[in-house]
Amino acid sequence: MNIAQKLSQEQYEQNFGEIKPPFTASSAVAEANRCLYCYDSPCMKACPTHIDISTFIKKIATGNLKGSAKTILQSNWVPLTCAKACPVEVLCEGACVFNVKGEKAIEIGRLQRYAMDYYFEISAPKLFIPKRENGKSVGIIGSGPAGLACGAESVLLGYEVTIYEANKIPGGLDTWGIAPYKMRQADSLKEVKLIENLGVKIQTNVLVGKDISFNELLNRHDAIFLGIGLGESPELKIPGEELPGVIGALQFINQVKNEKWSSVNIGRRVAVIGAGNTSIDAATEAKRLGAEEVFILYRRGKMDMPAYEFEYELAIKDNISFYFQTAPKKIIGSNSVEAIECIKMELGELDSKGRHSVKPIKNSEFVIPIDTVIKAIGQTVKTEFISAIDGLKFEDEKILVDPETYQTGNPKVFAGGDCINGGKEVVNAAYDGKRAAHGIHKFLFG
């Protein structure tokens, strides 16, 4: 493998520096004062957790930052993560009335971050008192945003809650899956700590199905919540995929999240397969690690690309090259990846999801020399232990739940987040977890 040029620690820090810096006190107040505090505000409707945005912004304008944080936390248990990682451009800020007036939307995400930064700076004082213990317990599998939100809400409802987390550091996707230039691990861990301080116990290094059986958990708790997210990318099913130098996007992003950047050997030329938001994260992270050339290969056209437009623009700004209508055919190399053979694709009719069908163009093969292949072609639900859960049903490889209560086909088992929606935003998972806690409460107490 061609080794990418090693950067100085200072250079890495610069490359992975935040792309959205925080507000200063005066700029936050000035921005908060721009808000029209709309009645029936469209921004609040557009937020999946329905945070009372105009109220929390008004509190910033009047200097009540702790009150602002409380308003936010009443709707969302991972608001610092959401402030930094949410696609606000297509959610709350995208719905702000200023867009209609042709003016810049209120920077809701940065204001939310401002309030939450303050709250954590003053050591996250207690804002909520749990109800008296109700004698029942909830076991949660996975400490990502859905699990954390379900845990926090369940504790407030009087449950004893234990989260079982396979990783040594909790937080799931918030800790391990968000590009460092958007958010560092330390921020996610502040929210984990907040939820632990409410009374949620988190057992790390516990892999359900190996360290403890699912049935044991089912006997131990009155209800179980699955917040297990998704597994690694499926296989490309092309020759050469087993070569050293081929890596799954999540595995790669996890390495980058460790923040030991000098030890990640990405090579000089990198191909990322797929064009979703995870692909863009992987590509821009590879570039910031020092790769000289990074290519995104996508078998459909730009108009079919699942990534958000603003993510695409970020990739263009980072000099990522896009090969549209291009599919990988073979990974070439003797001891490790040396090149990738691709084939051009022709676009056909639109499929049921509104994307073009594709078919290979005869004799259009070409070879790109590369050192690393990152697979980012979507993820599927982990099947290790859940395939054995009685009554669980699936649709399109997602766990099927009641949309109101989040109860699965097994009455004692609830689920939320990526494992039921196939991979949406952190904010959707946070909402699911909170709602599922109330679903559990309804199931156990009517």
Encoding tokens for residue 152?
């926090």
Q: 93 vs 293, which CB is nearer to ligand SF4?
A: 93
AA letter at 275: A
Q: Please state the closest distance from residue 83 (CB atom) to ligand SF4, in A.
A: 14
Expressed in angstroms, the distance from the first to the final Cα of the chain is 61
What region does 68 belong to: left with phi over 0, alpha with psi -120 to 50, or beta? Answer: alpha
Q: 39 vs 396, which CB is nearer to ligand SF4?
A: 39
Q: Please state the closest distance from residue 100 (CB atom) to ligand SF4, in A.
A: 9
Q: How many residues line the site for ligand SF4 (CB under 6 A)?
A: 14
From residue 64 to residue 103, the character string flagging contacts with ligand SF4 as x (rule: CB under 6 A) and all else as - is --------------------------------xxx-----
Q: Please state the closest distance from residue 429 (CB atom) to ligand SF4, in A.
A: 23
Q: Please state the closest distance from residue 423 (CB atom) to ligand SF4, in A.
A: 27
Q: Please state the closest distance from residue 92 (CB atom) to ligand SF4, in A.
A: 7
Of 40-48, 146-154, 323-331, 389-397: span binding ligand SF4 (CB under 6 A)? 40-48
Q: 99 vs 254, which CB is nearer to ligand SF4?
A: 99
Long-range contacts of 259-262 (CB under 8 A, 24+ apart): 259/16, 259/180, 259/184, 259/185, 261/7, 261/12, 261/16, 261/289, 262/6, 262/7, 262/9, 262/12
What distances in angstroms separate CA 307 from CA 73, 176, 310, one per listed residue?
Answer: 29, 20, 8
Using CB under 6 A, pick the residue from 4, 28, 32, 43 that binds ligand SF4: 43
Of 37-45, 187-195, 294-302, 401-409: span binding ligand SF4 (CB under 6 A)? 37-45
Q: Please state the closest distance from residue 76 (CB atom) to ligand SF4, in A.
A: 16
Q: Greatest CA separation found in the chain?
A: 71
Encoding tokens for residue 94?
């995208």
Q: Please state the closest distance from residue 50 (CB atom) to ligand SF4, in A.
A: 12
Residues within window 96-125 making contact with ligand SF4, judged by CB under 6 A: 96-98, 106, 108
Q: 42 vs 130, which CB is nearer to ligand SF4?
A: 42
Using CB under 6 A, pick the residue from 15, 41, 277, 284 that binds ligand SF4: 41
Q: Please state the closest distance from residue 10 (CB atom) to ligand SF4, in A.
A: 37
Of 41-49, 147-155, 163-171, 229-237: span binding ligand SF4 (CB under 6 A)? 41-49
Encoding tokens for residue 416?
């939320």
For residues 106 and 120, is the Cβ–Cβ distance under 8 A? no
Q: 106 vs 426, which CB is nearer to ligand SF4?
A: 106
Question: Residue 324 CB: number of other CB atoms within 10 A?
Answer: 18
Choose among 150, 131, 143: nearest CA to 413.
150
By CB under 6 A, is residue 54 in contact with ligand SF4?
yes
Q: Please state the closest distance from residue 114 (CB atom) to ligand SF4, in A.
A: 14
Using CB under 6 A, pick the residue from 3, 30, 38, 316 that binds ligand SF4: 38
Using CB under 6 A, pick the residue from 1, 47, 53, 228 that binds ligand SF4: 53
- Residue identified by tokens 């156990």 is 444
* Pairing label, strands 160-164, 137-141: parallel
By CB under 6 A, is residue 47 in contact with ligand SF4?
no
Of 30-38, 74-82, 255-263, 375-383: span binding ligand SF4 (CB under 6 A)? 30-38
Q: 72 vs 247, which CB is nearer to ligand SF4?
A: 72
Of 31-39, 152-160, 193-201, 213-221: span binding ligand SF4 (CB under 6 A)? 31-39
Q: 57 vs 343, which CB is nearer to ligand SF4?
A: 57
Using CB under 6 A, pick the residue from 36, 122, 367, 388 that binds ligand SF4: 36
By CB under 6 A, is residue 61 in contact with ligand SF4?
no
Q: 62 vs 251, which CB is nearer to ligand SF4?
A: 62
Using CB under 6 A, pick the residue from 37, 128, 310, 366 that binds ligand SF4: 37
Burial tier of 221 (Cβ tally within 10 Å: 0-12, 13-18, 19+): buried
Q: Footprint of ligand SF4 on this chain (CB under 6 A)? A: 35-38, 41-43, 53-54, 96-98, 106, 108
